[in-house]
Structure 1
Amino acid sequence: MSNIRSNRVAEQMKKELGDILSRKIKDPRVGFVTVTDVQVSGDLQQAKVFISIFGDEQQKEDTLVGLAKSKGFIRSEIGNRIRLRKVPELSFEIDETIEYGNKIERIIHDLNEDH
Structure 2
Amino acid sequence: MGKLSTHVLDISIGKPGAGVQVALYAVEAGHKTLLKTEVTNHDGRCNAPLLEGDSLKPGQYELVFAAGDYFDKQGVELPSPKFIDRVTLAFGVADASQNYHVPLVVSPWAYSTYRGS
Whose radius of gyration is greater, 1 or 2?
Answer: 1
Same fold by TM (over 0.5)? no
* TM-score (structure 2 length as normaliser): 0.33
TM-score norm. by structure 1 comes to 0.34
Of Structure 1 and Structure 2, the greater strand share is in 2
Higher relative contact order (CA 8 A, sep 6+): 2
